[in-house]
């Protein structure tokens, strides 16, 4: 039995109505399209009120993430689990929710927290990212390896984005 099938089976065995409802709420709130729209609103505000450079960087990184998610899904064309608890379309790998969560919350922690609050911001954002990943697996919208791939892709995008931002500063 592969780790994906074993994890999918485990999620079925711990299915509970309250956790299903919670997971569906997280799925809607952290939907990639929702986070892209929120990001563009944040970026516009930041551009106009705080820093043009931060606003452009935030918007560019999020838009690039969306494009890379789409390209990756088309390259891999992996089918989603058949027993999902929510309707999902399109290909499975990488998890767009996991990828965009890493980049969005990583950018928030990087750009908008002071040194004094970096540790707490990192802990909070990491928990949100992990919960998002868990809910994708729990709802069986993704395989475990889809979420891991999303975390890796998001981490690479975030890391390279921060490197570029620092080089241009």
Cα 25 from Cα 90, distance rounded (Å): 20
Asked whether the bond before 159 is cis by omega within 30 degrees of 0, the reply is no
Q: Which H, E and C letters describe 85-98, residue by residue?
A: CCCCCCCCCCCHHH
Burial zone of 141 (CB within 10 Å; 0-12 exposed, 13-18 middle, 19+ buried): buried
Measured distance CA(34)–CA(47) in Å, rounded: 20
- pLDDT, one tens digit per residue, over 60-72 is 999 999 999 999 9
pLDDT band at 1 (very low <50, low <70, confident <90, very high): low
The CA–CA distances, whole Å, from 57 to 65, 88, 112, 151 equal 12, 30, 13, 20
Please say if the pLDDT value at position 124 is more than 90. yes
Q: Assign 84 a pLDDT band (cuts: 50, 70, 90).
A: confident
* In the predicted structure, residue 122 carries a pLDDT above the cut 70: yes
Residue 88 has pLDDT above 90, yes or no: no
Residue 101 structure tokens: 């969560």
Which pLDDT tens digit goes with each residue over 128-141? 999 999 999 999 99
Q: Given this model, what pLDDT does residue 27 score?
A: 93
- Residue 84 or 155, more confident: 155
| pLDDT tens, residue by residue, 20-44 | 999 999 999 999 999 999 999 999 9
Give the model's confidence band at 89: pLDDT under 50 very low, under 70 low, under 90 confident, else very high: confident
Measured in whole angstroms, the distance separating CA 45 from the mean position of its chain's CA atoms is: 22
């Amino acid at each position: 039995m592969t780790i994906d099938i074993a994890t999918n089976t485990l999620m079925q065995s711990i299915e509970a109505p309250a956790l299903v409802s919670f997971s569906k709420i997280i799925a809607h709130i952290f939907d990639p399209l929702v986070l892209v729209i929120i990001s563009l609103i944040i970026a516009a505000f930041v551009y106009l009120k705080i820093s043009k450079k931060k606003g452009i960087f935030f918007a560019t990184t999020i838009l690039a993430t969306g494009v890379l998610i789409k390209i990756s899904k088309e390259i891999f064309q992996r089918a989603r689990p058949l027993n999902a608890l929510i309707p999902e379309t399109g290909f499975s790998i990488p998890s767009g929710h996991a990828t965009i969560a890493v980049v969005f919350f990583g950018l928030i922690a990087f750009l908008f927290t002071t040194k004094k609050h970096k540790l707490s911001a990192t802990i909070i954002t990491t928990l949100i990212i992990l919960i998002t990943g868990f809910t994708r697996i729990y709802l069986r919208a993704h395989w475990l390896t889809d979420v891991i791939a999303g975390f890796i892709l998001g981490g690479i995008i975030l890391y390279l984005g921060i490197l570029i931002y620092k080089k241009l500063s």
